[in-house]
Amino acid sequence: MKRVRLAAILFLIVVAAGCLLADVAAPASYAHQFRDLPDAAPSRQHLLGTDDLGRDRFSRLLYGTRVSLLLAPAAALLASVLAAVIGGAAGFLGGWLESAVMASTDLFLSLPWLFLLITVRALLPLNVSPLASVTITFALLGCLGWAGAARVICADARRLCGSDMVLLARASGASGFRLLWRHIVPNLKPVLAAQFWISVPVFVLTEANLGILGLGVAEPLPSWGSLLRELESFSAFSAQPWQLAPLVLLVLTVSCFHLVFKKQELWT
């Protein structure tokens, strides 16, 4: 199991390095069109061929991976920060605030996410730029994904508040912000980190679903979701197995996230 985890970590490092070095490793820009070569098969010049607009698939895969793998953690960070603030405050202060937060998290957890996301997405102006669309998509994911993590953090903060360590700190005269900042928050860090890493693959998959439906990142900026839209051309699908490259990469990356962070999940 240790070897499998090590292999998963190595794979994630290679993927992260590949997408971070996209500017150097990609043979062309993600939007550059080779107009005389639409739907080309893989060659030395185009490792995964070109799409129907003549854009190099390998380059788009590298840039798309960069978008998904940079912004999904950003959304997870936003969700974790919101969860830490809301859940931490509820667990620390208790009383009616804790009841209200618990009721809100129950509500958020029972909301059908995808319905909410497409509702808010439909509110955006039509002329939104690709960069704005990608930022808004992942910001929405972050803002809607805090509830599960907040529950866990609230429970942990409540447990810490009743611990001997905090009792001793109180007896020594620590209270309010100092107690929270010096004694509770540092002990919440492992739970927060676990919640962060659990959220990343969830957001990657949600963006992929939105992208396939045409409600994710706007063209020509690629993401895993928008790259997977190519799979809609079923007839070409069997003749061009290299179109499956984004799917294979997505499944492998999400699997590796699950493998690497499974242990952390168990700790929570």
88 or 148: CB nearest other proteins: 148
Alpha-carbon distance 133 to 215, whole Å?
A: 9
Q: Of the candidates 195, 223, 196, which has an alpha carbon nearest to the alpha carbon of residue 210?
A: 223
HSE (side-chain half, CA atoms, 13 Å) at 201:
19
Q: How far is the CB of 103 from other proteins (least distance, A)?
A: 7
Other beta carbons within 10 angstroms of residue 39's beta carbon come to 13
Q: How far is the CB of 43 from other proteins (least distance, A)?
A: 26
Residues that bind other proteins (CB under 8 A): 103, 106-107, 109-116, 118-123, 125-126, 201, 205, 208-209, 212-215, 228, 231-232, 234, 237-238, 247, 250-251, 254-255, 258
201 or 222: CB nearest other proteins: 201
Cβ-Cβ contacts under 8 Å for 104 (sequence gap 6 or more): 147
175 or 255: CB nearest other proteins: 255
14 or 167: CB nearest other proteins: 14
Q: How far is the CB of 104 from other proteins (least distance, A)?
A: 10
Torsion over CA: 159, 262, 107, 117 (sign)? positive
Q: How far is the CB of 66 from other proteins (least distance, A)?
A: 19
